[in-house]
Amino acid sequence: MSVIYKITNKINGKIYVGKSDLFEDEFFKSNYYGSGKLIKPAIKKYGIDNFTREIVDFANDEDGLNEKEKYWIMTCNSKVPNGYNIADGGTGGATRGVGWHQSDKTKEKISQKALGRKNSPEHIEKTRLGNLGKIPWNKGKTGVYSEEARKAMSLARKGKTSWNKGKAGTYSEQARKNMSAGQLGQKQSKETIEKRRLKNLGKKRTEEWKKQTSDRMKIENKKRILENKHNWWKGGITPLRGKIYQSFQWRQWRTNIFQRDNYICQKCKQKGGSLEVHHIKLFALILQENNIKTLEQAIQCEELWNINNGITLCLECHKKTDNYRGKGLKKRR
Ligand SMILES: [Zn+2]
C-alpha cells in the first residue's frame, strides 16, 4: 500500500504532490518531504514549519499509484508555475526517499526550465488566493475511491490532524518510556530501572495516575517536538532499527510478504487497510542473537530477510500478538 501525499506552502499556497511507497504511519514518522527539484529548495527557503503534509490517497499497485498521482497533480493545480510539480506525474516508480526514476538528464533539463521562470509577486499572490479559496478538489467524489482512500482524504481535509492523534496505544509502554528518557536527556542506570520496576510492580495504576501520566507525556512530547523535531519522527525506535526500517531491503522484505499473502490479514482475513508485517521470531531477538550493530551487518544477516519469518496482519490483529512493538522484550526481562 503506497500513498499519495500533498505538501502545501502555508505562505504562498503552492502545492507539491508526490507518491511514496511508505505506509501512512511510516510516512508521517519520516521527515520525508518529497524529492522534487523545486520542493526541496522551497523547503530550504521557507523553512519546514511553513509547510503542511497530508496524505490524500492510497494505491495498492504501481499503476494505480501513477494514475492517482496524475489525478492529484491536475486537481491540485500543482504543476509549475502554479505549484512545485515539474511533471504531470504518473511516471517512474514510487519514491523510496531517493528521488525520481527519470533519467538525470531529463530531470536536469526540466528543472532548469522551471527554475528559469521567475514568478511576479502578483502571480504568486494570485496563485495563493486561488489555491486558498478553491473548492476542495475531492468534493463530491464519493464512489470513485476505496473506503480507505476516503478515510485518508477526510483526514487530509482536516489539515492539521496528526497521524497519531487520538490513537492511544500507537506506542508501546516501552517505546514511551524510551521517548521520555530521551527527552529528559538522562541515561538511567540499571539500578534505577530495577528500582522503578519493583516499585511499579506493587503499584496499582489508578485511573488518576494514568491520566496524570498521560498529561505529563503530552507536555513532554510538546517539549520534545520543540527541542528536536527529527528525533520525534523516529518515535522511540532505536537508531539502528530506524535505519533498517528505512532500508530498501526492509521494504522489499515487507512487500514480498504482503504479495505472498495477497495483502490479506492472515488472522481475520481482512483485505487491505492498515496492514503490517508481524515477525514470527522477534526482530530484536534476531538482532541480538546475530550480534548486529550496524546496518551493513543487518543487510548481511540472512535470518533477518527470511520471508518465512514474516506474516501479514492487520493493525488490530497485530496488536493482539504477544510481541507487538516490544511487548515480547518486556516479558523477557
Ligand atoms: Zn486481522
Ligand 1 centroid to Cα of residue 116, in Å, is 52
Q: Which fold does the domain 2-157 belong to in CATH?
A: GIY-YIG endonuclease (3.40.1440)
Ligand 1 centroid to Cα of residue 312, in Å, is 9
Ligand 1 centroid to Cα of residue 269, in Å, is 6
CA 274, 279, 285, 288 dihedral sign is: negative
Ligand 1 centroid to Cα of residue 321, in Å, is 11
Query: Domain boundaries in the chain?
Result: 2-157, 170-236, 237-333
- What's the whole-model pTM score? 0.33
Ligand 1 centroid to Cα of residue 274, in Å, is 9
Ligand 1 centroid to Cα of residue 13, in Å, is 40
Number of H helices, E strands in the chain: 16, 5
Ligand 1 centroid to Cα of residue 280, in Å, is 15
Report helix, strand or coil for 99: coil
Ligand 1 centroid to Cα of residue 99, in Å, is 33
Ligand 1 centroid to Cα of residue 266, in Å, is 7
Burial class (CB in 10 A: 0-12, 13-18, 19+), 58: buried
Ligand 1 centroid to Cα of residue 39, in Å, is 38
Ligand 1 centroid to Cα of residue 306, in Å, is 22
User: Do 6 and 56 form a contact (C-beta atoms < 8 A)?
Assistant: yes
d(CA 263, CA 267) in angstroms, rounded, equals 12
Place of cell 482536516: 158
Ligand 1 centroid to Cα of residue 239, in Å, is 29
Written as nine digits, the cell of 69 is 498521482
d(CA 90, CA 69) in angstroms, rounded, equals 6
∠ CA 144-148-150, rounded to 5°: 50
d(CA 108, CA 103) in angstroms, rounded, equals 9
d(CA 172, CA 318) in angstroms, rounded, equals 13
Ligand 1 centroid to Cα of residue 87, in Å, is 39
Ligand 1 centroid to Cα of residue 22, in Å, is 20
Written as nine digits, the cell of 58 is 492510497
User: Do 137 and 157 form a contact (C-beta atoms < 8 A)?
Assistant: no
Ligand 1 centroid to Cα of residue 271, in Å, is 9
Query: Of how many residues is the chain composed?
Result: 333
Ligand 1 centroid to Cα of residue 3, in Å, is 21
Ligand 1 centroid to Cα of residue 261, in Å, is 12
Q: Which amino acid is residue 174, in one-letter code?
A: Q
Ligand 1 centroid to Cα of residue 267, in Å, is 5
Q: What does the DSSP 8-state code read for residue 193?
A: H
Ligand 1 centroid to Cα of residue 6, in Å, is 29
Written as nine digits, the cell of 36 is 522534487
**pLDDT tens over the chain, length 333 residues:** 678 888 988 888 899 998 887 776 677 777 777 778 899 899 989 988 888 888 777 777 777 788 888 888 888 889 988 899 988 887 764 444 333 334 444 555 555 555 554 555 665 665 565 555 444 434 443 444 455 556 655 555 554 344 444 444 444 455 555 455 444 444 566 777 777 777 666 555 566 667 777 777 777 666 655 544 443 333 345 688 888 988 888 999 999 999 999 999 999 998 888 899 999 888 888 998 999 989 999 999 999 999 999 999 999 999 888 767 655 444 443
Q: What does the DSSP 8-state code read for residue 326?
A: G
Other C-beta atoms within 10 Å of 13: how many? 20
